[in-house]
Amino acid sequence: MLIHFNAILLGLIEGITEFLPISSTGHLLIAEQWLGARSDLFNVVIQAGAILAVMLVYRHRLWTLATGLGRRENRDYAAKLLVAFLITGVLGLIAVRLGFKLPETVVPVAWALILGGFWMLGAERLAARLGPGTRITWTVAIVVGLAQMVAGIFPGLSRSGASIFAAMLAGTRDRSAATEFSFLVGIPTMFAASGYELWHHTRHAAAGAPPEHWAALGVAFVVSTLTAFVAVKWLLGYIKSHRYTLFAWYRIALGLALFGLLRLGCVH
């Protein structure tokens, strides 16, 4: 019973934080201090639940792209999504293999939260000065792919936050357009990560790895999917008339709180 309660809480946290630019890693790190650590498979699969929610939110956009590849603008947009995904996947895998990924511990995550918050504040102001722009260019696609790769190396930076503001600074000043491209690129990226982790778990399950609690994983997946659906729908409405400034200050406050909890010995 406790296992399922903890799974529900972790699913809620993942669903709320995965696509808000506040770092799901940072929030899950805090939660796991009291709820217990989860396997990499658990964390990646509940992220896949959040990605499924994005597919549901953007189902009409995805259907239009899939059935309208005969139109040049749809082929162009799909090709840019593919390029951003390949940059993220290939360079991210190389970086991990070379050992460039920082540990998901309190200190680096707290610093990433704080620095990422100030980055968002500065990026919002700079993007506002650069003038209007709604097109997703090839430069935007490449920069978004690089930003997602960097976010994968620095836990706590926030994949969505890094890619959204990279798109805005690279030429897509419209927050809705930048957010949509970032979220759509996240679909193949996170599903690929989930597939890789599932393959890795299956490969090493017979080598003495602790068994996965599949029922709890299923509960967390469903909760994450439902919660992320609500969170994304709310965010898309919010950014039509608001900047991301509130999230930036929240990140800074959370990072400072993490350092405070670390000093008090409440996290480690």
Which residue do the tokens 């989930």 mark?
A: 194
Q: Which residues of 182-214 are buried (b: 16+ CB within 10 A; e: fewer)?
A: bbbbbbbbbbbbbeebeeebeeeeeeeeeebbe
Identify the pLDDT of residue 201: 66
List per-block mean pLDDT (blocks of 10 residues) for the chain, which spans 268 residues.
80 94 85 77 84 94 93 95 94 83 83 93 87 85 94 86 91 89 90 74 61 82 96 95 94 93 82
Identify the pLDDT of residue 184: 95
Q: How far apart are CA 255 and CA 111, in angstroms?
A: 6
Identify the pLDDT of residue 15: 95
Identify the pLDDT of residue 30: 80
Identify the pLDDT of residue 225: 96
Identify the pLDDT of residue 38: 77
For CA atoms 134, 84, 24, 2, the dihedral sign is: positive
CB of 102 within 8 A of CB of 155?
yes
Q: How far apart are CA 90 and CA 111, in angstroms?
A: 26
Q: How far apart are CA 145 and CA 57, in angstroms?
A: 22
pTM for the whole structure: 0.89
Identify the pLDDT of residue 86: 95
3-state per-residue secondary structure call for 173-233? CCHHHHHHHHHHHHHHHHHHHHHHHHHHHHHHHHHCCCCCCHHHHHHHHHHHHHHHHHHHH
Identify the pLDDT of residue 47: 84
For CA atoms 158, 161, 164, 170, the dihedral sign is: negative
